[in-house]
């Protein structure tokens, strides 16, 4: 079994120990859904070749918060960048030659775009039957909305997420990250892994169709069957999940603290930690259903208690009584936390544009074939043109210069 220290050394040595080290992925996507799928596959060892428009590149290069756009350094790590103009026949032909060398094609263009370029699945699978094509879009490749433009937020709204997020008396809120896109990418990645397993048995590739709204729908728990059976419509409920108590963020003397004791045995332990053991058997709170019915009253009772203590004091009590609880972390809290450090959940990558930069490590963890960050994000569009086009297609410097002069790469 490979431990954390071994994995750290392998990362420093740029050793590819990933489960997908014999898999090549061609990434045609832009922004988040397609590129995040590519990031996940690359972190697991795949050779990811990212195709970008000449000169301008992926708009993701300029996305993110703050004056310096560093989000690119995460989503484009473990990738080689080549440029190709997919809007002209010569660029399409060039990318088609790259596809011939790939195991997986990832794309998140509007449905019909690949077909318009002569690179649709019917054409590609006829020529390359082993190919796995992961397609991410707003509404999927079929259905009456399939030709509509779709972004993550629209998928979150249609999939049910936005309606239930926020305060009851305010319009729907959004998360501070593009959760619809990353969910779709994650499901797309799952599809690729399953399709690789099937191909190992049959030799045949296939198409994975991952829609943004359906990816969100998958994590909506009982939202649909609750309505189908009882006519119940889930509503916005702020920081709580209605009927699940106690599970909330409570105020301490010096900050906020999350406590999740929404199970009968956990509630009894929390009552003991509060030095109010009689509350554990109080009929208003003793059962899951009773706590749900008296949720506001119970939250107020707990909040009044936590306000008399510091976060450290509450943390110590929760740990002593084995109650799920913790601080509400920001980035600086993560960097300082000894558990993050011990597991190397955050690593430092030597980037080309910004030097050493801290970011999340590869995930999930594998005992025998750990993922790694082996190369930083490419700082220049088409940075690996000579390497990739030379290595895979046999093009020399003169041929590449001619293609560049023609605006093909």
For residue 242, is it within any domain?
Answer: no
Same domain for 130 and 276?
Answer: no
Does 237 reside within a domain? no
What tokens appear for 302 in the block? 């707990």
Q: Which domain holds residue 286?
A: 247-334
Q: What is the model's pLDDT at position 13?
A: 65
pLDDT at 14: 78
Q: Is the pLDDT of residue 12 over 60?
A: no
Given this model, what pLDDT does residue 9 score?
Answer: 57
3-state secondary structure (DSSP) of residue 183: helix
How far lies 141's CA from each of 14, 104, 149, 208, in Å?
38, 18, 12, 10
Cα(346)–Cα(41) distance, rounded to whole angstroms? 19
Instruction: Classify residue 275: in a domain, yes or no.
Output: yes
Q: What pairs with residue 359 in β-bridges?
A: 347
Split into its structural domains, the chain has a count of 2
**Distance between CA 137 and CA 29 in Å, rounded?**
10
302, 334, 366: which is the final residue of a domain? Answer: 334
* Co-location of 193 and 152 in the same domain: yes
Do 320 and 33 contact (CB within 8 A), yes or no? no
Whether 229 maps to a domain, the answer reads: no
Please report whether residue 235 resides in a domain: no
Task: State whether 61 and 150 are in the same domain.
Answer: yes
Q: What is the pLDDT of residues 291-349, one digit of tens each?
A: 999 999 999 999 999 999 999 999 999 999 999 999 999 999 999 999 999 999 999 99
Same domain, 316 and 178: no
Which residues have CB under 8 Å from 33's CB, separation 6+?
A: 108, 136, 152, 181, 182, 184, 185, 188, 210, 212
The CATH number of residue 10's host domain is 3.40.50.10540
Q: Would you state the pLDDT for residue 375?
A: 97
DSSP state of 299: H
Does 97 map to a domain? yes
Q: Is the pLDDT of residue 7 over 80?
A: no
pTM for the full predicted model = 0.93
pLDDT band at 76; cut points 50, 70, 90: very high
User: What tokens does 175 get?
Assistant: 């998360």
Distances (CA, A) of 181 to 66, 230, 305: 21, 31, 40
Are residue 306 and residue 362 in the same domain, yes or no?
no
Shared domain for 16 and 110, answered yes or no, is yes
The helix or strand, by DSSP H or E, that contains position 200, with its residue range, turns out to be: helix 179-202
| Same-domain status, 51 and 186 | yes
Is the pLDDT confidence value at 8 over 60?
no
For residues 65 and 147, state if they share a domain: yes
- Among 300, 334, 368, the domain boundary falls at 334
- pLDDT above 80 (res 243): yes
Whether the CB-CB separation of 51 and 409 falls below 8 Å is answered with no
At 258, list the tokens. Answer: 């999350």
Task: Compute the 3-state secondary structure of the chain and give helix, strand, coil in percent, each to the nearest 5.
Answer: 40, 15, 45
Q: Is 236 a member of any domain? A: no
Nearest to 269 by CA among 261, 293, 72: 261
Residue 10, pLDDT > 90, answer no
Say if 169 falls within a structural domain.
yes
Residue 123 pLDDT exceeds 60: yes
CA dist 112 and 381 (Å) reads 25
Instruction: Looking at the structure, tell me whether residues 11 and 124 fall in a common domain.
Output: yes
Residue 19 pLDDT level (bands cut at 50, 70, 90): very high
Give the CATH number for residue 279: 3.30.1540.10
Average pLDDT, rounded, for the chain: 95
Catalytic residues: 181
The answer to whether the beta carbons of residues 231 and 255 sit under 8 Å apart is no
- If asked whether residues 397 and 360 sit together in one domain, one would say yes
Q: Which of 161, 260, 172 is nearest to 219 (CA)?
A: 161
Task: For residues 139 and 287, state if they share a domain.
Answer: no
99: Cα within 13 Å, side-chain hemisphere: 28
User: Does 276 have pLDDT greater than 60?
Assistant: yes
Residue finishing a domain among 275, 309, 334: 334
Q: What pLDDT is stored for residue 51 in this prediction?
A: 98
Q: Burial level of 322, CB count in 10 A (0-12/13-18/19+)?
A: exposed
Looking at the fold, whether 256 and 283 belong to one and the same domain comes out as: yes
């Amino acid at each position: 079994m490979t431990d954390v220290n071994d994995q750290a050394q392998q990362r420093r040595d740029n050793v590819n120990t990933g489960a997908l080290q014999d898999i090549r992925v061609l990434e045609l996507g832009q922004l988040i859904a397609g590129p995040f799928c590519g990031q996940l596959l690359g972190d697991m060892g795949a050779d990811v070749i990212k195709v970008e428009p000449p000169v301008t590149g992926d708009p993701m290069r300029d996305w993110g918060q703050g004056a310096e756009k560093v989000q690119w350094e995460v989503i484009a790590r473990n990738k080689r960048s080549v440029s190709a103009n997919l809007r002209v026949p010569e660029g399409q032909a060039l990318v088609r030659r790259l596809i011939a060398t790939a195991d997986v094609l990832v794309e998140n263009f509007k449905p019909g775009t690949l077909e318009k370029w002569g690179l649709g699945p019917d054409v590609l699978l006829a020529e390359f039957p082993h190919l796995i094509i992961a397609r991410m879009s707003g509404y999927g490749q079929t259905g009456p909305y399939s030709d509509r433009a779709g972004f993550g937020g629209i998928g979150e709204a249609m999939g049910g997420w936005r309606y239930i997020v926020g305060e009851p008396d305010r319009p729907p809120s959004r998360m501070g990250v593009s959760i619809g896109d990353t969910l779709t990418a994650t499901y797309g990645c799952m599809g690729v892994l399953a399709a690789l397993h099937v191909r190992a048995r049959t030799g045949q590739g296939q198409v994975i169709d991952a829609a943004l709204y359906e990816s969100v729908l998958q994590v909506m728990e009982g939202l649909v069957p609750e309505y189908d059976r009882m006519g119940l419509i889930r509503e916005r409920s702020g920081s709580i999940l209605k009927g699940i108590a106690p599970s909330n963020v409570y105020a301490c003397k010096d900050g906020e603290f999350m406590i999740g004791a929404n199970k009968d045995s956990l509630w009894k332990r929390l009552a003991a930690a509060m030095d109010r053991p009689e509350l554990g058997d109080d009929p208003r709170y003793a059962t899951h259903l009773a706590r749900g019915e008296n949720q506001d009253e119970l939250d107020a009772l707990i909040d009044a208690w936590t306000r008399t203590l510091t976060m450290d004091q509450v943390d110590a009590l929760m740990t002593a009584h084995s109650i799920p609880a913790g601080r509400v972390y920001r980035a600086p809290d993560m960097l300082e936390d000894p558990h993050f450090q011990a597991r190397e959940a955050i690593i430092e990558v030597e980037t080309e544009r910004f030097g050493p930069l801290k970011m999340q490590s590869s995930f999930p963890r594998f005992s025998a074939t750990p993922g790694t960050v082996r190369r930083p994000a490419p700082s220049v569009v088409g940075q690996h043109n000579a390497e990739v086009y030379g290595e895979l297609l046999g093009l020399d410097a003169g041929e590449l210069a001619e293609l560049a002069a023609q605006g093909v790469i």
